[in-house]
Amino acid sequence: MVKNMKWLSCFILLTGCGTNVVLTEKGLTESESDLVISEEIETEEVKILPVTSTEDETQETLNQNETEVDLQSVAKIPGEDSPFSYKSFLNQDFNGADFKVGNLLTDWGTHKSYYATYNSDGFKVSATWHVPNGNGPFPVLILNHGYFPPSEYTNGYGFGREQKYFAKQGYAVLHIDYKGYAQSDPLPENQRLWGDATFAADAINAALALNAADLDFVDTERMGLFGHSLGGGVTLSAALARPDLFKVGVMWGPVSSDYFDNFNQWRRDDVSETQKLLFEAVFGSVDEKASFAALSPYPYLNQLEVPLLIQHGTVDESCPVEWSQSTVAQLQDLGKSVEYIEYDGYPHVFWNQNWDNAIEDTRTFIEPFLNPNS
């Protein structure tokens, strides 16, 4: 048994761009994520469970089935029973409620934008709420922004063009700020556990809060997700955890679905020897891809039910295009509904004609699922 788990701070620092902790990413722009955690977190007693499957047992299971199966469906992933694992995120109960619309921010002529808040697992999250003119009911698009230093971020910052674009197209758009950003409550220490999954909980709870609000001018049966970079990871995680809430998801230049990639990209050089040893006691060597499986979405992609569009530029300087290529290949191998558009010469953030092309591809993809003109 482990008490007063100081090692948690070391674990969080190791998990990299995708980890859901206080993000502070070096040299990244609009949409990257990274983490810094406080030095000590007290939790309830947590029992670290050993891996029980052996190689012989795995082979015996394969022989019994007389078919070739993915070993991950038989063997336990090291660390997957940890309360800090991705599996724990997927299995948690989500609680979104108390959606409130505040002051009018701007009347754009075609739609109005408001300050809004909602409750995400007991914590206030601020947002920007765009409502088209007319009676509705309008489909809902939840927007998940990329990484910004929290000290520089303000309500509705990031995805500003996309918010207005889709509101003009007839969508009710909720751009969420995440815990720890803008007027949201601070990101609590005991929630800094799963990389972008902590913020994915905010996206899920936004959908639940809108459902509970029972607004007559929105149709929560037609709800989608759209995210960039860190927000792309948020979109994937929210879709995996609660497919019952969302009809479609779009990811622009997302972080990797393998946190080993994110760790190597942003955090490896910052890890102390003590942090390394503490991580390896639970998950395995920091030099092995398999050690990060318990923290990653990719072992759980077989659970995906929400159709996805992934869009990525070939010269993305922050999130390499190979990350999306790998995720798409895995989803295709699993027979999942995924479309992929790769833009030759596009960087991480789309501008000018690049943005025009990408946003039109996004609109074309989501319209059949959310049908804003019905």
Give a yes or no: residue 121 inside a domain.
yes
Give a yes or no: residue 73 inside a domain.
no
Give a yes or no: residue 40 inside a domain.
no
CATH number at residue 130: 3.40.50.1820
- Which residues 6+ apart lie within 8 Å of 60 measured at CB? none
Q: Residue 271: its pLDDT value, please?
A: 81
DSSP per residue over 250-280, as a string?
Answer: EEESPPPSSHHHHHHHHTGGG--HHHHHHHH
Question: Of 78, 42, 44, 76, which is closest to residue 58 (Cα–Cα)?
Answer: 76
Give a yes or no: residue 222 inside a domain.
yes
CA distance 216 to 151: 36
pTM given for the model: 0.80
Mean pLDDT of 259-274: 86
Give a yes or no: residue 35 inside a domain.
no
Mean pLDDT of 205-232: 97
Give a yes or no: residue 113 inside a domain.
yes
pLDDT band at residue 202 under the 50/70/90 scheme: very high
Q: Burial code of 308-321, b = ≥16 C-beta within 10 A, e = fewer?
A: bbbbbbeebebbbb
For 133-171, the pLDDT digits (tens) are 999 999 999 999 998 888 899 999 989 999 999 999 999
Angle value at C-alpha 142, between 141 and 147, nearest 5 degrees: 140
Q: Residue 195: its pLDDT value, please?
A: 61
For 10-57, the pLDDT digits (tens) are 344 444 443 333 332 333 333 333 332 233 333 333 333 443 444 454
Q: Residue 2: its pLDDT value, please?
A: 34
Among 198-212, 271-285, 359-373, the least confident range: 271-285
Give a yes or no: residue 338 inside a domain.
yes
- Which residues 6+ apart lie within 8 Å of 290 measured at CB? 77, 78, 284
Residue 284: what are its φ and ψ, rounded to 5°?
115, -175
Q: Residue 289: its pLDDT value, please?
A: 92
Question: Of 70, 125, 63, which is closest to residue 98 (Cα–Cα)?
Answer: 125
* Domain boundaries, position 143: 95-258+300-370
- Which residues 6+ apart lie within 8 Å of 71 measured at CB? 58
Q: Residue 111: its pLDDT value, please?
A: 97
Give a yes or no: residue 63 inside a domain.
no
Number of domains in the chain: 1
Mean pLDDT of 232-259: 97
Burial class, 101, CB count within 10 angstroms (exposed 0-12 / middle 13-18 / buried 19+): middle
Q: Residue 267: its pLDDT value, please?
A: 78
Angle value at C-alpha 88, between 198 and 148, nearest 5 degrees: 15
